[in-house]
Structure 1
Amino acid sequence: MNPGGSFGEKVVESRPSVADYTTVPTKSESNATTKTKKSDVSFVGKRGIRSNNGVYQLLECSICTNFMYPPIHQCPNGHTLCSNCKNRVVNSCPTCRHDLGNIRCLALEKVAESLEFPCKYRNIGCLDISPYYNKLKHEQNCRFRPYNCPYAGSECSVTGDIPTLVAHLKDDHMVDMHDGCTFNHQYVKSNPHEAENPTWMLTVFNCFGRKFCLHFEAFHLGMAPVYMVFLRFMGDVNEAKRFSYCLEAGTDGRKLIWQGIPRSIRDSHRKVRDSLDGLIIQRNLALYFSGGNRRKLRLRITGRIWKRE
């Protein structure tokens, strides 16, 4: 059982795969990648001329020290800052205290347009060089961008590639690992009326040669205690869209069925949960499905993962 929950037991029955296939900027990311240092940066102009750190410093906001993107603002004395910081300084230049006004530094914007910049993940394998204004978009979709740990039970800051995270989930979070594209879980909770704090469980499945995270949650939706089950794909968004899954809960001929597309772990666990993108069961109905005297949760969830055409 994973830490953080109060479930009394968990029974897992994994069946073989239905087919045998083989296929493939956050705060925590900075822990797994080397930050861009000023001394490491060299811009490359469209004519192949490398600039020195002087250009780097011109494009660095004097307040937040991040790179500036249009609109780049300046005060009448020529001190520049990014648009986000301009909104925070209440129209007063932080360098000379002169009124900022609404002056655009068009010359600096033009200089930036002519430059190219290496990906910040170059130290872990990316060799791409992007136009300055496309740098952020490239890094957001870079295949070398590390993934965040998908475990929901703690503020885990571990990042890495998929094999690294799978080993981390197994060794550090004691997550159950199973092979197969079908599953049959029974979630048991001795006192389901204790739902003041969220509880969670996580299982990782190896299916079609890829890894999937099955989440089971207990939390309050408004004032109503609910249980939610959903699947996440350990890979990028476009790859996740190649798969579908279904979930089923019920008893005595009554069923709740959910079918969807697994969300990539690029989306945070909280984002997926708060979007309600999964099978949601109110506590009273979950207890009805559990049978008996309805005082103990014994909820069986079955499901299947398949490749989309």
Structure 2
Amino acid sequence: TSDLDDARELLSLLECPVCFDLMKPPIVQCSNGHSVCSKCKGKLTVCPSCEANYLETRNLLAEQMAYKVKHPCKNQSAGCSEKYPLEHLTRHEAECPHRVFECKAGFGVKGVNKCGWSGLLDQLYHHVAASHKPFCWMRASNTIQHKNIDLNKDCSVTQLVSAHDEIFWYHYRHVTSEERSFVALQYIGQVKAAKKYKYEVRCSSSGADFELSMVCPAHGDPEDAGAIFRSGKCLILDFRTMNHFIINKALIMKFNVLKA
């Protein structure tokens, strides 16, 4: 109990007197040695504790303490109880399942813009189902039709997939300058859980002369879709191959979300 009390007392010394968050470097101080966090410093003209002027001198002792202690995740109010040293905190917050998620449904489709909605994970599916129904499907297996395919124009589509009691982003993109099309799947939630899933794509030509089947791993949702495409860790079709599977200007694919 004594060690716990000591730890709490140490943390209290790092509390910003204005916002009460734990201070993180750079930590500045006034001429009397009182410190505030860098976020609040930009809003102040004098020290809130003694009204002295601030110096450009950093409080190196406080900064060293800040690196030693574990900081709570910024998503604590949303339910995250994790604490990390500063060197690991940023990565955790970027992948935290309690973080704020942005709606990506329909992004890149002509006439459909990123809607600007953001919210918690358990709200995301309901938002997409209510506001972007054409870009939401609710089963692990689906036949996808990308209609009016024009390989002379770039195209990008993102849809929400509900499968295995989880949700995913499905991405399709074709890039005219590269003469290639890309398909990727991102697990939405705790990043390490993405390893539990993969996806299968099957395509057939109209006379079944050509068939394609490929299985690829799912990625975590913090990754940029473009970075996934550039990495090559997804389905990639060159336009010559893709032309075999375009029927009446529609690319038809059987898509399955599988457990790894």
Fold conserved (TM > 0.5)? yes
**Contact persistence 2:203–2:252 (CA under 8 A):** yes
The corresponding residue for 1:179 is 138
**How far apart in 2 are the matches of 1:239 and 1:227?**
27
**How far apart in 2 are the matches of 1:58 and 1:241?**
33
The alpha carbon displacement at 1:242 in A equals 0.6
The corresponding residue for 1:264 is 220
Match of 1:60 among 26, 29, 37: 26
Alignment of 1:1-309 (within 5 A): 46-49=6-9, 50-51=12-13, 52-53=15-16, 59-60=25-26, 65=38, 79-80=57-58, 105=60, 107-151=61-105, 152-153=107-108, 154-189=113-148, 192-195=150-153, 198-220=154-176, 223-251=177-205, 252-290=208-246, 296-308=248-260
What SS does the corresponding residue of 1:47 show, helix, strand or coil? Answer: helix
What SS does the corresponding residue of 2:244 show, helix, strand or coil? Answer: helix
What SS does the corresponding residue of 2:38 show, helix, strand or coil? Answer: coil
Bigger Cα displacement from structure 2, 229-238 vs 147-156: 147-156
What SS does the corresponding residue of 2:179 show, helix, strand or coil? Answer: strand
What SS does the corresponding residue of 2:143 show, helix, strand or coil? Answer: strand
Q: 1:280 to 1:61 in 2, by over 3 A?
A: same
Q: How many residues align?
A: 222
Read off the aligned partner of 1:194 and give its amino acid letter. N
**Contact persistence 2:98–2:121 (CA under 8 A):** no
**How far apart in 2 are the matches of 1:189 and 1:258?**
24
Name structure 1 gaps, 5 residues minimum: 1-43, 68-76, 82-104
**Contact persistence 1:241–1:261 (CA under 8 A):** yes
**How far apart in 2 are the matches of 1:227 and 1:260?**
15
Identity of aligned residues (%): 17
Read off the aligned partner of 2:181 and give its amino acid letter. Y
Q: 1:155 to 1:178 in 2, by over 3 A?
A: closer
Q: 1:257 to 1:57 in 2, by over 3 A?
A: closer
**How far apart in 1 are the matches of 2:101 and 2:218?**
16
RMSD: 3.4
The corresponding residue for 1:95 is none
Q: TM-score, normalised by structure 2?
A: 0.69
**Contact persistence 1:258–1:278 (CA under 8 A):** no
**Contact persistence 2:179–2:239 (CA under 8 A):** yes
Q: Deviations over 1:221-245 (max 9, x none)?
A: xx33332222222222211111122
Read off the aligned partner of 1:163 and give its amino acid letter. D
The alpha carbon displacement at 1:206 in A equals 2.4
More helix by share: 2
**Contact persistence 2:67–2:86 (CA under 8 A):** yes
Name structure 2 gaps, 5 residues minimum: 29-36, 41-54
**How far apart in 2 are the matches of 1:240 and 1:228?**
19
The corresponding residue for 2:32 is none
The alpha carbon displacement at 1:301 in A equals 0.7
What SS does the corresponding residue of 2:77 show, helix, strand or coil? Answer: helix
